[in-house]
């Protein structure tokens, strides 16, 4: 009962905050629109960014995803939301000090530079010194996990109501939101993130052009993650970066993602510009491992097989894999129509360069095929799809000519050769 009351109060808060920002923005927008539509648009973008921050971390995460998708939002909107990757307004210094004192039961063993803050939706990161050694100190915002859990509970309630409508009936939206909500809330578990950083450093140790900061778990505690400080970071690429270097960076990032996904069963869902940088030594630096999910072997195999056959333009096998992995098949399902539609979609999408292929449009059409024909995707597939959706926007910025699908073939071939995946041919129904 108490939790239900809390959810109702949180829903009222979300609506109230939204209405307040709308009331503040409308007069300014009207006045600016009389002068210039561009100025009015800038006001809307700034106010939207403030609204997202005021609503909390679950909404910031959604905005971060949208900011990477220039094929979905106009460039100005993407740029307006891009600050939310690592420049969310930080918590007050007195709050951060209080968190540290509570975490360490008194004065923490660090000398913290409070002016060096980089701020995300879950935590703020500061440069600190530990026995003369520079370290990165990640301090969790108060109540952040509770807010995330409440917001996703509200979303699930809305999805449950929507699922009763004829157009949405059968879609596993509640299950998908439950899995995403649990994974986003888990970003507040810094002990798990320290473990994920250590695991990624181990499985990708042979990738000489990648650097992942070393966690220092013996110095961390509840709500505080301590790791190696990486100095001299710069954006992965700028407007002056030569095209050849941009293309190389795109392929290297893709290789690392495919390695994690298809060989190690690890999905990094947060490889946005705020977590990917270039180090002084020319290596790619991946700073964060909070949103890393481990796939069950069956899900990894099925997703990898789908991706491999998609890259080859093999529509019949793709349709078969989707049918096998479906969460459910309705009594009225038209499997034959689903297979025909999938084959046509794969033939149309295979072999396209990044500038000619949109994963958003592809996924939307694929989900629509499933919905219309009564086959419903497994919720676990949402994580590799989410990871690739975030990554695709970054890859498009680096090199529009890269073949997103073909770059996966060497890693998938290695997975087949190592016995992690079945070799290609399935008996078709």
Rounded average pLDDT over 384-413: 85
> Cα–Cα distance between 328 and 315 in angstroms, integer?
21
Answer whether residue 198 is part of any domain. no
Distance CA 270, CA 195 (A): 16
pLDDT for the residue numbered 21: 80
pLDDT of residue 175: 74
What average pLDDT is seen over the chain? 84
- Tens digits of residue pLDDT in 19-44: 888 887 777 666 666 666 666 777 78
> What local confidence, expressed as pLDDT, does residue 427 receive?
42
Residue with the larger pLDDT of the pair 81 and 263: 263
- Asked if residue 205 is part of any domain, the answer here is no
pLDDT of residue 2: 65
Per-residue pLDDT band at 120 (split at 50, 70, 90): confident
pTM: 0.82
User: Is position 411 within any domain?
Assistant: yes
Residue 349 has pLDDT above 50, yes or no: yes
Are 177 and 60 in a shared domain? no
Q: What is the rounded average pLDDT of the residues 281-304?
A: 90
Model pLDDT, residue 45 = 80
Is 386 inside any structural domain? yes
Average pLDDT (273-291) is: 91
- Same domain for 54 and 103: no
Q: Based on C-alpha coordinates, what's the Rg of the chain?
A: 23
Note whether 71 and 363 are within 8 A (CB). no
Domain annotation covers residue 363? yes
Residue 94: domain span: 86-142+214-229
On whether both 283 and 393 belong to a single domain, the answer is: yes
Same domain, 73 and 96: no
How do residues 44-94 score in pLDDT, each as one tens digit?
888 888 888 888 888 887 777 667 665 556 777 777 777 776 678 889 999
Same domain flag for 138 and 149: no
Q: Which residue has the tokens 């899900």?
A: 299
pLDDT of residue 268: 92
Contacts for 67 with CB less than 8 Å, ≥ 6 apart: 73, 77, 78, 79, 80, 81, 82, 84, 85, 272
| 197 found inside a domain | no
H/E element, 124: strand 123-130
CA atoms within 13 A on the CB side of 135: 22
* pLDDT recorded at residue 422: 55
Distance CA 251, CA 408 (A): 10
End-to-end CA distance of the chain: 50
The per-residue pLDDT for 425 is 42
Q: Which residues contact 159 (CB under 8 A, 6 or more apart)?
A: 173, 174, 177
Q: Is the pLDDT of residue 270 over 80?
A: yes
Verify that 127 and 166 share a domain, yes or no. no
* pLDDT cut 70: percent of the chain above it: 89
Which of 219-233, 269-283, 372-386 has the lowest average pLDDT?
Answer: 372-386
Q: Quick one: 269 and 121 in the same domain? A: no
What is the percent of the chain where pLDDT is above 90?
A: 33
From residue 113, alpha-carbon distances to 29, 233, 333 in Å are 39, 18, 60
Rounded to whole angstroms, the Cα distance separating 240 from 148 reads 39
Q: Are residues 220 and 109 in the same domain?
A: yes
Please check whether residues 101 and 170 belong to one and the same domain.
Answer: no
What's the CA gap between 306 and 408, in Å, rounded?
12
Whether 209 maps to a domain, the answer reads: no
Structure tokens at 245: 């270097």
Q: At 115, phi and psi to the nearest 5?
A: -90, -5
* pLDDT, mean of residues 3-15: 83
In a domain, 203, yes or no: no
Q: Is residue 365 pLDDT above 90, yes or no?
A: no
Q: Is the pLDDT of residue 260 over 80?
A: yes
Domain check: are 52 and 135 in the same one? no
The C-alpha atoms of residue 343 and residue 321 are separated, in whole angstroms, by 12
Q: Which of 226, 216, 235, 227 is nearest to 279 (CA)?
A: 235
Domains: count for the chain: 4
Whether 123 and 35 map to the same domain: the answer is: no
346 and 218 both lie in a single domain: no
């Amino acid at each position: 009962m108490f939790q239900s009351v809390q959810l109702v109060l949180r829903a009222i808060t979300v609506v109230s905050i939204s209405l307040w920002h709308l009331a503040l923005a409308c007069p300014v927008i009207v006045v600016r629109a009389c002068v210039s539509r561009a100025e009015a648009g800038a006001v809307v973008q700034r106010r939207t960014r403030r609204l997202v921050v005021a609503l909390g971390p679950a909404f910031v995460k959604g905005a971060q995803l949208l900011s990477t998708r220039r094929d979905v939002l106009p460039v100005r909107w993407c740029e307006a939301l891009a600050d939310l990757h690592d420049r969310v307004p930080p918590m007050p210094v007195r709050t951060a000090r209080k968190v540290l004192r509570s975490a360490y039961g008194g004065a923490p063993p660090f000398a913290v530079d409070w002016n060096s803050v980089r701020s995300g939706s879950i935590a703020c990161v500061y440069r600190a010194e530990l026995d003369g050694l520079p370290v990165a100190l990640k301090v969790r915002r108060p109540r952040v996990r509770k807010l995330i859990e409440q917001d996703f509970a509200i979303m699930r309630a809305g999805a449950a109501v929507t699922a009763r409508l004829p157009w949405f009936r059968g879609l596993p939206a509640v299950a998908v939101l439950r899995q995403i909500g649990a994974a986003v809330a888990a970003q507040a578990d810094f002990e798990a993130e320290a473990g994920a950083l250590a695991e990624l450093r181990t499985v990708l140790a042979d990738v000489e052009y990648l650097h992942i900061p070393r966690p220092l778990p013996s110095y961390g505690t509840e709500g505080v993650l301590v790791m190696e400080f990486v100095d001299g970071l710069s954006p992965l690429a700028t407007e002056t970066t030569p095209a050849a270097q941009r293309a190389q960076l795109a392929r290297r990032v893709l290789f690392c993602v495919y390695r994690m996904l298809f060989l190690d069963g690890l999905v990094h869902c947060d490889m946005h510009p705020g977590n990917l940088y270039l180090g002084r030594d020319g290596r790619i630096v991946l700073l964060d491992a909070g949103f890393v999910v481990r796939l069950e072997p069956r899900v990894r195999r099925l997703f990898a097989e789908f991706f491999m056959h998609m890259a080859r333009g093999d529509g019949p096998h793709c349709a078969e894999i989707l049918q096998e992995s479906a969460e459910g098949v309705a009594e009225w399902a038209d499997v034959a129509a689903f297979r025909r539609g999938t084959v046509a979609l794969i033939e149309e999408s295979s072999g396209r360069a990044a500038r000619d292929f949109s994963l958003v449009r592809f996924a939307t059409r694929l989900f629509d095929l499933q919905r219309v024909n009564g086959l419903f995707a497994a919720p676990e597939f949402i994580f590799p799809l989410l990871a690739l959706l975030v990554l695709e926007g970054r890859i498009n910025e680096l090199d529009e000519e890269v073949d997103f699908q073909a770059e996966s073939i060497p890693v998938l071939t290695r997975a087949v050769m190592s016995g992690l995946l079945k070799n290609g041919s399935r008996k078709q129904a």
